[in-house]
Chains A and B, each alone.
Chain A
C-alpha cells in the first residue's frame, strides 16, 4: 500500500518542490491587509516597488477594512489599507493595546451613483433625495416618490454588501448614520454585479467606487449629485478638490508606529508617497492626491505623526487639508 501512495504522492511533491525552489530567498517583509478597494492601489505599489527593491517582499491581503483593522490592532500586520477613517471603537482598541499608528491619505475615490443608459429623466439627484431613497424608513418605492414629475415605476436598487467600507461611507454621509440603509436592495460584494444589474434594468439605481463607473462608461449613466450648490458630476478634478461632495472620500493607509522605523516598511511607505506613484493610483482607477496633499502626507509620515486626524476634532465641515495641516502642528 505504501508503494501505491508513493506512486502518486512523490511526483506531486516533486512538482511542488521544483516550483518552490525556483523562487528566490528574500528576507525582509512588509505585511499589508485591509480594504479591497485600497488593495488595488497597494498591490500596484507593491508590484512596482518589487522592481526597484527585489530584496523586500510586500504581502498584501484583502480581508476588508474592518478585518484589516482587527489584525492591525492585534499586531499581525504592519500596514492597514482603509477605505474609511478608523472608527472610535477601533481607536479605543488600539489605545488599549498600546498601539500607535500613523494615518496617511493616499488617494481619493468618488462614490458614483449610476442609473440605466435608457433612463432619460434622472439627470441629477439631491443629497436629500438620495437619503429618502436609501434610508431605512424613507418609504420610496417608485421614481415618482422621489420627484412627482418622474415616472410611476418601481426603483430597483443595487449596492455593496454591508461588510464593505463603501457601504459604511455611503450610509454615513447620505443617510447620516454609518450602516443605516434600507435592506430591500440587491447587495453584492462584487461591484461588477451592481454594474450588470443597473445596466440591465431601465429603472435601476446603484452606487459604487468611481473606478467601476470609469471602466463601464458605455453601459451606465452617471447621476450628478446636488449638495446645495448645484449638481456636480464626479470627475477626477471634482473628486480631488472635493467639490464632488459629500461622496468623495479619502482612501488611507495606517502604518504601525513601531513598524515604520523598520527600513523595509519605511522604504515601502516612502515609495507609496513618492511623486511617480501618483501615476499608479490613476492607472488602477482612482484619483491621486494633489502635489500639495502629497507633501502634507509625506511630512506626516516623516515626522511620524501618530493618531487619527479625527482624534481632536470632528470631521464635520473641515476639509482634509485643514485636518492634515492641523495635526502636523499639533
Chain B
C-alpha cells in the first residue's frame, strides 16, 4: 500500500468512524485469542473433572489392567519418555545440520530450491504415511523390529520438516552483517557459523524443536502402524525393545466399552499434558539460558 492510497482512504472519513474501526479490529483480534483460550479451558475442565479422580501415584506406577481401577500408565509413560529422548537425539543434529547446510553453505541453485520445496511439502504429509515408511524401512529392511529405535526414527522423519524449516527461519533472522564481519576478520565459514551465527539462532531453533517434539509426543497412528504395543507388562529394557506410548494407551482406554476406562483415559491425558509441559519447560529454560548468554 502506498502513501497515496493511505491518504485517500483517510480523506473525508470522520474521526469517529476511524476510531470505531480501530475498536472493531481490536475486538476481532481479542475474539480470536479468546476463542482458542475458551476451547482450551473447556477441554481442560472436561479432562480434569473426569480424570482427576483417577490420578494417584498408583495410577502412574501401575501397569495396564483389565480392571479400570487397577490400571496404570507406567509402561506407556516410560515408553513415551524413552521415545522422546531418542527422537530428539536423532532429530536435533539432523535438523540443525540440514538447516545450516541449506542456509549457510549450499549455493542457491535449482537443486537446493527443489530440496526446499520438498521439505516444506513433507511437513504436510499425513503421519500415517510416515508410519508405513517406517514399517518398510526401519522395521522390515533394517530389521529393527517393533523397537523403540524404529519408532524414534519414524518420529524423527515425521518432525524433521518442522525442525528444519524453523531452524532455517532462525538462521535467516541472524543479520548478514554478523557473517560479513566475522569473515572479514579472517574467520572460516565453520568458525563464523560456530561462533556467531549458531549462538544467535539457537533460541529460534529451540522453538522449532519444541514444536516438533510436541507433535511427536501426541502421535498414535504411525506408531500403531510400525507395531507399537497395546499391552506390555514391563518396561522397555533398551532402544531395541518393544514399547508402548501414552497416546496409544489413551486411545486404547477411550475405545473400551466400560465407562470407567474413559476416566482412566482422561487421567492419562492429564499426565501426558504434564509430560509435554515438562519437555517444553526444559526447552524454554534452555532457550532462556541461551538468550541470556547472548545478552551478556
Contacts and interface: CB of A to CB of B under 8 A. Distances in A.
Contact of B145 (A16, A46, A76, A283): A76
B271 interface: no
A211 interface: yes
A24 B146 contact: no
A46 B231 contact: yes
A31 B228 CA distance: 11
Given A43-B230, A285-B258, 19 more contacts: A4-B202, A4-B290, A9-B88, A12-B279, A19-B235, A23-B78, A23-B234, A29-B242, A39-B231, A43-B66, A57-B233, A58-B231, A58-B233, A59-B229, A59-B231, A59-B232, A60-B230, A61-B230, A71-B227
B282 A8 contact: yes
B254 A4 contact: no
Nearest to B199: A1
Given A16-B82, A59-B242, A216-B257, A25 B237 contact: yes
Contact of A211 (B199, B238, B257): B257
A8 B282 CA distance: 6
Interface in B206-242: 224-225, 227-238, 242
Nearest to B81: A16
Nearest to B82: A16
Among A42, A44, A60, A61: residue with most chain B CB under 10 A: A61
A95 interface: no
26 contacts: A9-B88, A11-B282, A12-B84, A16-B78, A16-B81, A20-B82, A23-B237, A25-B237, A40-B256, A47-B65, A47-B233, A58-B232, A58-B233, A59-B229, A59-B231, A60-B231, A62-B224, A63-B225, A71-B227, A76-B146, A189-B255, A190-B254, A211-B257, A212-B257, A283-B66, A284-B66
A7 interface: yes
Contacts of A285: 257-258
3 residue pairs, one from A and one from B, having the closest CB atoms: A23-B235, A215-B257, A43-B231
Nearest to A25: B237
B140 to A, nearest CB: 8
B137 interface: no
A58 B139 CA distance: 19
Interface of A: 1, 4-5, 7-9, 11-13, 15-16, 19-20, 22-26, 29, 31, 33, 36, 39-40, 42-44, 46-47, 50, 57-63, 67, 71, 74, 76, 189-192, 209, 211-212, 214-216, 280, 283-285
Interface string B138-166: 01100001100000000000000000000
Interface string B53-78: 00000000001111000000000011
A284 B139 CA distance: 32
Contacts of A33: 227
A1 B205 CA distance: 13
Interface in B247-296: 252, 254-259, 262, 279, 282-283, 285-286, 289-290, 293
A250 B224 CA distance: 25
B109 to A, nearest CB: 30
A106 to B, nearest CB: 15
A191 to B, nearest CB: 7
B234 A15 contact: no
A4 B66 contact: no
Given A16-B81, A19-B235, A76 B230 contact: no
Contacts of A16: 78, 81-82, 85
Nearest to B80: A16
B232 A15 contact: no
A98 B254 CA distance: 39
B255 A20 contact: no
B255 A39 contact: no
Contacts of B229: 59-61
B78 A19 contact: yes
Given A12-B282, A190-B254, A214-B257, A61 B237 contact: no
A5 B286 contact: yes
Interface string B153-196: 00000000000000000000000000000000000000000000
Contact of B198 (A1, A8, A60, A215): A1
A30 to B, nearest CB: 11
A60 B82 contact: no
B174 to A, nearest CB: 14
A114 to B, nearest CB: 13
A63 B77 CA distance: 20
- B140, B224, B232: residue with the most chain A Cβ atoms closer than 10 Å: B232
A187 to B, nearest CB: 14
